């Protein structure tokens, strides 16, 4: 248990605490290398690549854009709703969102 | 007067230098035990580990600057180190939530919880960049009888999760041999010198494995999965890799947008069959930098190279070796490389509670020297 957390503290991008999930999505959806993925996400967010791991910058920006935040805030987009906003921001399709859309009338 | 001081000053400098070279730094053996080494001893071990990788893989040595940086990372006095701000990388996860609710066999901590709770803990409490769903057996074959349960869990998790959520398990081709599966055990056949029959058993098992992985993922994709994590490809030899690459190829064809992470089991692809090929390349005997292009060719998005830890050697020896191998794999790869950094791989000591000092140093070295795209 301590090992993955040690990696997150040493080298990780902190997931939805900052913008780690967004950079990971670009690596996975478009096979972008780390530099390209960070450039892509930072341009879409209008921040510097350094800001992508900065909780101070990302906490408010995520809430403002509806991308999901680490703390539990009533009323802000969560789960699939946040992912639908991520799709629009990053200009990608997310499978679970597609499935969700296909199931509503 | 000045002349008179030269000799004593020189003597003082020499003795200070001697004290400096005799300073010992705490580090680890490959099994995690604390040891103490001088800077010179650390450098020697780094060079020997590096030379072993360079020799085995026929790949370049690290530069002098890179070795100096490794020495600095290892000898930093703080308990934990971190990458320079701006150099952070996504950290992907295998073994799913079994590390929360599982038993010691998977290094689980035995906290009774649902898999959804485990996922959300990773996302919202630990700051994981991605996550995966997997079941307690963690091999693909046993998923078949419980596929509906897995689909239902994936649907619920996808509705609640934000980070990329893959479905993960081990190809584990050994499950297709007797007494667990339909094919005769190649190990037994080889002991009887029935080499051809052993190869045929592996070919049959590989076909079944490919079929099963594709069948499972067709259903998981219908339940909203972002993609698939192949955890420990090649654990059952080259047939395991052959089957996995063919599954990747088929999945990419059927689901153009699927996320595919191709994680390896070991540094060297064991040639249990010996003659299996992918895209004209014999799989047996491939090192990480030779495996990476095949993973990309098959259709993977992310490649997870492995370098095994030698428990009888120091952390410095293992880290020098692992960074040399992984740096070359990152160079050879056309897709992102997320190096495997669990217990006993990537320079990390081989024990179920890897020490934080070693984990953080290996993690930093992989990002800043090997240039990995993730962990």
Full DSSP string of B55-119: HHHT-PPPPHHHHHHHHHHHH-SSS---PPTT--------STTHHHH--GGGT-------HHHHH
Nearest to A27 among B222, B296, B302 (CB): B302
Q: How many C-beta neighbours within 10 Å does residue A4 have?
A: 22
What token pair was written down for B369?
Answer: 């020297």
Task: Show residues of chain B in contact with A69, CB under 8 Å.
Answer: none
Give the containing element (helix H, strand E) for A20.
helix A20-30
Q: How many C-beta neighbours within 10 Å does residue B219 have?
A: 17
Judge residue B337's burial from the number of C-beta atoms within 10 Å of its C-beta, 0-12 exposed, 13-18 middle, 19 or more buried: buried
Q: What is the pLDDT of residue B14?
A: 61
Record: contact B164-A9, CB cut-off 8 A: no
Give the containing element (helix H, strand E) for B8.
helix B2-22
Residue of B nearest to A20 (CA): B129
Angstrom distances, CA of residue B10 to CA of B2, B19, B155, B230, B280: 12, 14, 74, 61, 65
Tell me the residues of chain B between 27 and 86 that have a Cβ less than 8 Å away from chain A.
80-83, 85-86
Nearest to A21 among B82, B162, B359 (CB): B162
For residue B244, give the nearest of B211, B275, B270, B216 by alpha carbon.
B211
- Residues A87-91, mean pLDDT to the nearest whole number: 98
Q: How many C-beta neighbours within 10 Å does residue B12 have?
A: 10
What token pair was written down for B143?
Answer: 């998923």
As a whole number of angstroms, the distance between CA B248 and CA B230 comes to 9
- 3-state DSSP call for residue B165? strand
As a whole number of angstroms, the distance between CA A30 and CA A32 comes to 5
Task: Show residues of chain B in contact with A94, CB under 8 Å.
Answer: 226
Q: What is the pLDDT of residue B9?
A: 63
Record: contact B301-A6, CB cut-off 8 A: no
Task: Show residues of chain B in contact with A33, CB under 8 Å.
Answer: 335-336, 373
| Distance of residue B351 Cα from the nearest chain A Cα, in angstroms | 11
- The torsion region of residue B110 among left (phi > 0), alpha (psi -120 to 50) and beta comes to left
Establish if A24 touches chain B: CB-CB under 8 angstroms: yes
Enumerate helices (H) and strands (E) in chain B, giving the number of each.
Answer: 12, 9
- The torsion region of residue B81 among left (phi > 0), alpha (psi -120 to 50) and beta comes to beta
What token pair was written down for A28?
Answer: 């996975």
The stretches of B169-309 forming alpha helices (DSSP H) are 186-191, 195-222, 238-254, 288-298
Angstrom distances, CA of residue B267 to CA of B257, B330, B353, B359: 29, 14, 22, 19
Tell me the residues of chain B between 262 and 321 that have a Cβ less than 8 Å away from chain A.
296, 301-302
Return the bridge partners of B131, or none. Answer: B165
Give the tens place of pLDDT for each residue, A52-78: 999 999 999 999 999 999 999 999 999
Q: What is the pLDDT of residue B5?
A: 59
As a whole number of angstroms, the distance between CA B339 and CA B346 comes to 7
As a whole number of angstroms, the distance between CA B119 and CA B159 comes to 12
Q: What is the pLDDT of residue B207?
A: 98
A21 neighbors B131 (Cβ within 8 angstroms): no
For residue A2, what pLDDT band results from cuts at 50, 70 and 90? confident
**pTM for this one?**
0.94
Tell me the pLDDT of chain B (375 aa) as tens digits: 555 556 666 666 666 555 555 899 999 999 999 999 999 999 999 999 999 999 999 999 999 999 999 999 999 999 999 999 999 999 998 888 988 999 888 888 899 999 999 999 999 999 999 999 999 999 999 999 999 999 999 999 999 999 999 999 999 999 999 999 999 999 999 999 999 999 999 999 999 999 999 999 999 999 999 999 999 999 999 999 999 999 999 999 999 999 999 999 999 999 999 999 999 999 999 999 999 999 999 999 999 999 999 999 999 999 999 999 999 999 999 999 999 999 999 999 999 899 999 999 999 999 999 999 999
Q: What is the pLDDT of residue B78?
A: 95
Give the containing element (helix H, strand E) for B44.
helix B39-57
Q: Which of A24, A36, A78, A79 to mutate to test the interface with B (most CBs of B within 10 A)?
A: A24
B69 neighbors B368 (Cβ within 8 angstroms): yes
A54 φ, ψ (degrees, to nearest 5): -100, 105
Q: Which of A9, A13, A15, A81 to mutate to test the interface with B (most CBs of B within 10 A)?
A: A15
As a whole number of angstroms, the distance between CA B247 and CA B259 comes to 13
Task: Show residues of chain A in contact with B342, CB under 8 Å.
Answer: 3
Place of tokens 């592996």: B202
Nearest to A31 among B223, B336, B372 (CB): B336
Record: contact A13-B85, CB cut-off 8 A: no
Q: Which of B81, B129, B224, B323 to mutate to test the interface with A (most CBs of A within 10 A)?
A: B129
Give the containing element (helix H, strand E) for B37.
strand B34-38
| Distance of residue A74 Cα from the nearest chain B Cα, in angstroms | 14
Residue of B nearest to A66 (CA): B162
Task: Show residues of chain B in contact with A78, CB under 8 Å.
Answer: 160, 162
Order the strands of the B302-304 sheet from edge to edge: B131-133, B165-169, B227-233, B259-264, B302-304
What token pair was written down for B65?
Answer: 């600057």
As a whole number of angstroms, the distance between CA B163 and CA B173 comes to 30
As a whole number of angstroms, the distance between CA B279 and CA A37 comes to 29
Judge residue B159's burial from the number of C-beta atoms within 10 Å of its C-beta, 0-12 exposed, 13-18 middle, 19 or more buried: middle
Asked if pLDDT for residue A1 goes beyond 70, the answer is no
Judge residue B354's burial from the number of C-beta atoms within 10 Å of its C-beta, 0-12 exposed, 13-18 middle, 19 or more buried: buried
Q: What is the pLDDT of residue B93?
A: 86
Record: contact B342-A95, CB cut-off 8 A: no
Nearest to A8 among B127, B161, B336 (CB): B127
Record: contact B162-A67, CB cut-off 8 A: yes
Tell me the residues of chain B between 142 and 201 that have a Cβ less than 8 Å away from chain A.
158-165
Establish if A33 touches chain B: CB-CB under 8 angstroms: yes
């Amino acid at each position: 248990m301590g090992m993955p957390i040690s990696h997150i503290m040493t080298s990780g991008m902190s997931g939805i605490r900052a913008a780690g999930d967004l950079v990971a999505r670009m690596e996975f959806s478009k096979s972008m290398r780390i530099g390209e993925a960070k450039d892509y996400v930072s341009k879409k967010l209008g921040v510097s690549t350094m800001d992508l791991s900065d909780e101070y910058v990302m906490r408010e920006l995520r809430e403002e854009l509806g991308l999901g935040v680490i703390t539990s805030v009533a009323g802000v987009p969560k789960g699939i709703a946040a992912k639908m906003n991520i799709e629009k921001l990053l200009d990608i399709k997310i499978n679970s969102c597609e499935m969700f859309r296909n199931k509503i009338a | 007067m000045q002349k008179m001081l030269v000799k004593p000053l020189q003597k003082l400098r020499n003795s200070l230098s001697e004290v400096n070279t005799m300073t010992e730094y705490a580090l680890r053996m490959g099994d995690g035990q604390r040891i103490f080494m001088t800077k010179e001893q650390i450098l020697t071990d780094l060079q020997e580990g590096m030379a072993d990788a360079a020799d085995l893989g026929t790949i370049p040595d690290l530069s002098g600057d890179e070795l100096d940086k490794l020495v600095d990372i290892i000898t930093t006095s703080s308990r934990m180190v971190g990458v320079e701000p701006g150099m952070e990388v996504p950290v992907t996860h295998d073994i799913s939530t079994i590390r929360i609710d599982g038993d010691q066999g998977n290094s689980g901590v035995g906290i009774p919880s649902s898999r959804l709770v485990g996922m959300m803990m990773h996302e919202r409490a630990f700051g994981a960049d991605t996550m995966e769903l997997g079941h307690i057996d963690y091999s693909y074959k046993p998923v078949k009888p419980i596929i509906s349960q897995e689909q239902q869990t994936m649907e619920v998790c996808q509705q609640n999760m934000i980070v990329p959520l893959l479905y993960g398990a081990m190809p584990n081709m050994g499950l297709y041999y007797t007494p667990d599966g339909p094919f005769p055990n190649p190990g037994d056949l080889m002991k009887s010198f029935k080499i051809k029959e052993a190869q045929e058993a592996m070919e049959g098992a590989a076909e079944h494995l490919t079929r099963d992985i594709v069948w499972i993922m067709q259903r998981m994709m219908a339940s909203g999965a972002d993609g698939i994590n192949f955890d420990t490809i090649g654990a059952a030899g080259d047939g395991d890799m052959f089957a996995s690459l063919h599954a990747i190829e088929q999945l990419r064809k059927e689901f153009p947008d699927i996320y595919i992470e191709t994680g390896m089991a070991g540094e060297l692809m064991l040639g249990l069959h010996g003659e299996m090929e992918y895209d004209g390349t014999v799989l047996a005997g491939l090192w990480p930098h030779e495996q990476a292009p095949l993973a990309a060719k098959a259709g993977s998005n992310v490649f997870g190279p492995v370098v095994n830890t030698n428990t009888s050697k120091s952390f410095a020896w293992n880290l020098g070796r692992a960074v040399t191998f992984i740096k070359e794999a990152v160079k050879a790869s056309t897709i992102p490389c997320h190096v495997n950094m669990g217990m006993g791989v990537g320079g990390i000591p081989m024990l179920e509670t890897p020490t934080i000092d070693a984990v953080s140093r290996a993690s930093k070295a992989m990002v800043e020297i090997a240039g990995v795209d993730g962990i």
